[in-house]
Amino acid sequence: MTITISTFYVFTAIDPNQLITEKAWLLDVMKQHHILGTILLAHEGLNATICGEDAPLEACIAAIKARYDCDFRQTLSTHESYPFHKAKVRIKPTLVKLGAEIHDAEQVGTYLSPREWNELLQQDDVVLLDTRNVYETHLGTFKGAIDPNTRKFNHLPAYTLEHLAHAKDKKLATFCTGGIRCEKYTAWLKEQGFTQVYHLEGGILRYLHEIPEEESLWEGSCYVFDDRVAVKHGHAVDREASNCPNCGHTLTAKDLTSEHYVHGVRCRHCDSYPPSNYDLLEQGTTH
């Protein structure tokens, strides 16, 4: 069996008083088409990673687009089985929690396609920032990227003000898993006076889908919020990546050789990153 996985987000106004109704509708359309995965629902739109067989998935996506009178670009991949166990719709106060006020969320940074991204990163005076959390960056990132070592996305504004003030007049290139975190973050950056702000359209997932490994500037694998754990170029599953069942931190093959690792019990990250320190379901969304 081949299962197609669709990752997408869309900003569209939804009446806050109708969120419970919309949750019920989304769950119904997912179950009708035998679709599994997670949709985050807020007054500002949808953020999702869902999966199913090709034709039912296409029908589900078409129904969602018609329901909200919107269009969006998906990042698609395939897997030999369902990477989710249930159909879930979660109502959230916001799709991604930046932790800082944004006055105009539509004034985002300049979108770059994966190939335009490669061209930018070859230029001088570019500050490259990974906006994801430490349990994600542990598995991989772009060559030369700054890792802010954050445990939650809403820690990023404070990090930026403390460590990146020097970059306000430089080219600041940002990236995340699927693109939605950078939508919020780049809008905030522009309000803070950063003048040349860019972000990778479609995020790492689109980059790994479109850029051949021999042309890639990516190193390692990309954490995803489902049973695959992490993917590499072409969205091939990284079979060596896993999660600690105790603290939730990502694990590489090297982590499994640590003297602090006990299979199914704990890992070398447990003391530094207890579960209360971050929320793996924060999900700069589902992606």
Contacts of 60 (CB under 8 A, 6+ apart): 29, 30, 32, 33, 35, 50, 52
Of how many residues is the chain composed?
Answer: 287
* Residues recognised as catalytic: 176
Structure tokens, 96:
């991604």
| Residue 79 host element (H or E) | strand 75-79
3-state secondary structure of 140: strand
Distance between alpha carbon 55 and the CA centroid of its chain, in Å?
A: 25
By the 8 A CB rule, do 230 and 238 touch?
Answer: yes
5 exposure class (CB count in 10 Å sphere: 0-12, 13-18, 19+): buried
